[in-house]
C-alpha cells in the first residue's frame, strides 16, 4: 500500500528552508555551499542519520559503511539524508564505564534532533549503552525514527571450540587463574574470541537491548539478530532508511510506537530470551522518557508468566546469535508467545504487531525452544526484596548455580573494587565456598556510573579446588555476557547510605530466589546503631560532567536517568526564522 506524500509545507524542515525570509535564504545558500542542488533537498523529508561509529568501538566499526546503505534507502524513498556523528559508547574501552555517559548521548541525541532542520531520524547503534541512549533521546525529541542495530559479530573459534564473546572470556580467565591453561592458550584465545565487527554474539546486553528495540517496534522486522558482516545487514540498513521517509510522510512519531503495551512486550521479550539484567535499568529509563511508568514489579510480574525459550549463551547452554538468527530471529521467537504479547499495537513498518509477525516461523527447535520444552519455566531475571535491598535488586538466576539459589552464608565485605582486586586471593580473608562476597560503593554515584563489577572474581585457591560459583552481592551491574549467582543493582546504593553500607564481614545473609528475598540477619536496633556511625563519603566529582552526573543521577530501580531529563514537561521547537 502506497503512503500519501505530505505537503512540503507541513514538514518540520520547511521552517528552515521554505520561508521567504533572510534566514531561509541563508539556510539554502549554506546548503548550496555543501554542494547540494535545490532539487536534491527542497520539499523532501530531511532524515538525520545519527551514527555512533568510531575507530575505537569494535562493535560499531562497520557503521561508517552501513550509514551509506541507510542514505541509499533514504534517497530511494525520496528523502534527503544528513549524517551526524554522535558520541560512541564503547563497552570495551571507555572508563570508568560507558554507563556514566549513556545520559550524555541521550542528551546529544535529543538536542541534535530538536535543533537541526530534520523531519525524522535513523539511529545507528548496538553496543550496550548506545541503544537505550539513542532511543531515550529520540523519545524525548519525539520525531519519526527507526533504529538500526549494529548486529552481532561472528562466533569465536579456538581449538575446535565455538567461543562466545564475554562469556568465554570470563570462563577461560578463571581457567588460567586455576592453572588449567597457560599464556600460550590465552594468546590464542585473544585472537579467536572476537573475529569480526559487531557487538557480542552471546545474549549479552547488546543483543538483549537490540532485541528489546525490535520488540518495541522501532526496527525493521528481524533486524536485531542479523550478523554485522552479513549482506543482509546492508539490506536492512537500506530498508531502515526507506522506512524513516515513510514514517515522516505518515507523521508516525515515536510516541505512537513507544506505548505502555510496547514496553510490556519488550520486558516479555527480554525475560523470554534469558537476557541481560542491564535491560531492567535501561527499559525503565526508556519507558520514563516515553511517559510510561515501568517498575521492578512489572518485571517480576511478567517474569512469572513467560518461559525462557532462547537456548543462547549465557542463559542457554549452547547456541550463539548467528544460530538464533537463522533459527528464525526475533520474529520466530515472538511467534511462539503470541498470547503474551499486545498484537494490535503499531510498529514502524506495520499498523499492528500481528501483521508484522504474520508468517514468522522457527526453523530450529533447539535454538528457539517450544513452550513444551523451555530452557526454563519462567523468565530469566528475578527481582529481590528484603532489608538489604528495600528498593529492590535483581539476579539472573537462569545463569546461576542451582544449589546457590537458596543460600545462607557469612559476608566478606569489600569497600571498593580496587581493594577487592588486590586482596581477593588472600587466604587470610578466610573466604570459603559458602561465603557471600559483598562489594559496595559501586552503584550509580559510588562507582561512579555503576560499572560492571558485579561478577566478583572467585579466589584463586577456590578455583583450584573446583569452585566455579559463589553468591556475590553488589550495587554494581554486570556484563550481560557474565554468569553466576550475582545479586546486582542493590537499591538504594551503599554510597548514599543504603543498607549495603551497613553490612560487616561475618554478618549472615540469606538469598532465596524462589521467595524473591535477600535478607541481612542483623537486628533493626543494630542497624540503627551502625547507621548512626556511618559517614557519607566525599563526592566523586567536584566539577564538569561528572558533577552534573553526581547531582542528577537517579537510583537503579528508577532507571539511572537524570532527574531534569526524566521529569514531565515540554520543550518547544526552536524558531528557525
Cα–Cα distance between 519 and 126 in angstroms, integer?
36
Of the candidates 489, 275, 253, the one whose C-alpha atom is nearest the C-alpha of residue 388 is 489
How many CA atoms lie less than 13 Å away from 259 in the CB half-sphere?
A: 17
> What 3 state SS string does 522-546 have?
CCHHHHHHHHHHCCCCCCCCCCHHH
- β-strands 436-439, 382-384 pairing: unpaired
Cα–Cα distance between 214 and 257 in angstroms, integer?
11
Distance of CA 453 to the CA centre of its chain: 16
Q: How many helices (H) and strands (E) does the chain have?
A: 22, 14
Cα–Cα distance between 555 and 569 in angstroms, integer?
21
Asked whether the beta carbons of 482 and 170 are under 8 A apart, the reply is yes
Sequential pLDDT tens for the chain (577 residues): 467 899 999 999 999 999 999 999 999 999 999 999 999 999 999 999 999 999 999 999 999 999 999 999 999 999 999 999 999 999 999 999 999 999 999 999 999 999 999 999 999 999 999 999 999 999 999 999 999 999 999 999 999 999 999 899 989 999 999 999 999 999 999 999 999 999 999 999 999 999 999 999 999 999 999 999 999 999 999 999 999 999 999 999 999 999 999 999 999 999 999 999 999 999 999 999 999 999 999 999 999 999 999 999 999 988 999 999 999 999 999 999 999 999 999 999 999 999 999 999 999 999 999 999 999 999 999 999 999 999 999 999 999 999 999 999 999 999 999 999 999 999 999 999 999 999 999 999 999 999 999 999 999 999 999 999 999 999 999 999 999 999 999 999 999 999 999 999 999 999 999 999 999 999 999 999 999 999 999 999 999 999 999 999 999 999 999 999 999 999 999 999 8
Q: Which residues are CB-neighbours of 43 under 8 A, at least 6 positions away?
A: 8, 11, 18
C-alpha cell at 287: 519507558
Q: What is the pLDDT of residue 577?
A: 86
CA-to-CA separations, 468 to 173, 419, 461, in angstroms, rounded: 12, 22, 11
Q: What is the pLDDT of residue 2?
A: 65
Distance of CA 233 to the CA centre of its chain: 20
pTM for the complete prediction?
0.97
Cα–Cα distance between 270 and 393 in angstroms, integer?
17
H or E stretch covering 167: helix 167-177
Q: What is the pLDDT of residue 1?
A: 45
CA-to-CA separations, 39 to 28, 29, 32, 35, 309, in angstroms, rounded: 11, 14, 11, 12, 51
H or E stretch covering 272: helix 260-272
Amino acid at each position: 500500500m502506497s503512503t500519501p506524500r505530505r505537503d512540503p509545507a507541513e514538514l518540520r524542515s520547511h521552517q528552515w528552508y521554505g520561508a521567504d525570509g533572510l534566514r531561509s535564504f541563508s539556510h539554502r545558500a549554506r546548503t548550496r555551499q555543501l554542494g547540494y542542488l535545490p532539487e536534491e533537498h527542497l520539499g523532501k523529508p530531511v532524515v538525520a542519520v545519527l551514527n555512533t561509529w568510531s575507530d575505537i568501538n569494535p562493535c560499531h566499526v562497520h557503521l561508517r559503511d552501513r550509514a551509506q546503505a541507510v542514505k541509499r534507502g533514504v534517497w530511494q524513498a525520496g528523502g534527503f539524508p544528513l549524517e551526524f556523528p554522535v558520541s560512541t559508547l564503547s563497552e570495551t574501552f571507555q572508563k570508568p564505564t560507558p554507563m556514566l555517559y549513556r545520559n550524555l548521548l541521550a542528551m546529544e541525541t535529543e538536542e541534535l534532533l530538536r535543533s537541526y532542520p530534520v523531519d525524522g531520524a535513523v539511529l545507528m547503534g548496538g553496543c550496550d549503552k548506545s541503544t537505550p541512549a539513542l532511543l531515550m533521546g529520540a523519545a524525548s525529541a519525539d520525531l519519526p525514527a527507526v533504529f538500526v542495530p549494529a548486529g552481532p559479530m561472528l562466533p569465536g573459534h579456538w581449538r575446535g571450540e565455538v567461543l562466545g564473546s564475554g562469556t568465554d572470556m570470563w570462563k577461560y580467565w578463571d581457567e588460567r587463574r586455576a592453572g588449567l591453561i597457560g599464556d600460550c592458550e590465552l594468546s590464542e584465545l585473544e585472537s579467536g574470541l572476537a573475529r569480526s565487527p559487531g557487538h557480542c554474539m552471546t545474549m549479552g546486553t547488546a543483543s538483549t537491548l537490540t532485541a528489546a528495540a525490535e520488540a518495541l517496534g522501532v526496527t525493521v522486522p528481524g533486524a536485531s539478530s542479523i550478523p554485522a558482516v552479513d549482506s543482509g545487514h546492508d539490506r536492512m540498513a537500506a530498508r531502515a532508511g526507506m522506512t524513516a521517509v515513510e514514517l515522516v510522510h505518515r507523521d508516525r512519531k515515536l510516541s505512537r510506537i513507544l506505548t505502555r503495551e510496547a514496553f510490556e512486550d519488550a520486558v516479555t521479550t527480554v525475560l523470554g530470551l534469558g537476557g541481560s539484567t542491564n535491560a531492567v535499568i535501561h527499559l525503565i529509563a526508556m519507558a520514563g522518557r516515553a511517559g510510561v511508568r515501568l517498575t521492578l514489579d512489572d518485571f517480576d510480574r511478567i517474569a512469572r508468566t513467560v518461559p525462557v525459550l532462547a537456548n543462547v549463551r549465557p542463559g542457554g547452554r549452547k547456541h550463539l546469535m548467528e544460530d538464533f538468527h537463522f533459527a528464525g530471529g526475533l520474529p520466530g521467537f515472538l511467534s511462539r508467545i503470541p498470547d503474551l504479547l499486545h498484537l494490535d499495537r503499531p510498529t514502524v513498518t506495520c499498523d499492528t504487531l500481528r501483521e508484522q509477525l504474520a508468517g514468522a516461523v522457527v526453523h530450529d527447535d533447539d535454538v528457539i525452544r517450544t513452550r513444551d520444552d523451555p530452557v526454563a519455566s519462567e523468565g530469566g531475571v528475578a527481582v529481590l526484596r528484603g532489608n538489604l535491598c528495600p528498593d529492590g535488586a535483581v539476579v539472573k538466576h537462569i545463569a546461576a548455580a542451582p544449589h546457590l539459589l537458596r543460600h545462607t552464608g557469612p559476608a566478606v565485605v569489600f569497600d571498593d573494587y580496587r581493594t577487592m582486586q588486590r586482596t581477593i586471593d588472600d587466604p587470610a580473608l578466610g573466604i570459603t565456598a559458602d561465603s557471600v562476597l559483598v562489594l559496595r560503593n559501586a552503584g550509580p554515584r559510588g562507582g561512579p556510573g555503576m560499572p560492571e563489577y558485579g561478577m566478583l572474581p572467585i579466589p584463586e585457591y577456590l578455583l583450584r579446588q573446583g569452585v566455579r560459583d559463589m553468591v556475590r552481592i553488589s550495587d554494581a551491574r554486570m556484563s550481560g555476557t557474565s554468569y553466576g549467582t550475582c545479586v546486582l543493582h542493590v537499591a538504594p546504593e551503599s554510597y548514599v547510605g543504603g543498607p549495603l553500607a551497613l553490612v560487616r564481614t561475618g554478618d549472615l545473609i540469606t538469598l532465596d530466589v524462589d521467595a524473591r528475598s535477600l535478607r541481612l540477619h542483623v537486628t533493626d536496633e543494630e542497624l540503627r546503631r551502625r547507621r548512626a556511625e556511618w559517614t557519607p563519603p566525599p563526592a566523586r566529582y567536584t566539577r564538569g560532567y561528572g558533577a552534573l552526573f553526581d547531582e542528577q543521577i537517579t537510583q537503579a530501580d528508577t532507571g539511572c536517568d537524570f532527574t531534569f531529563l526524566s521529569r514531565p514537561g515540554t520543550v518547544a521547537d526552536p524558531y528557525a526564522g
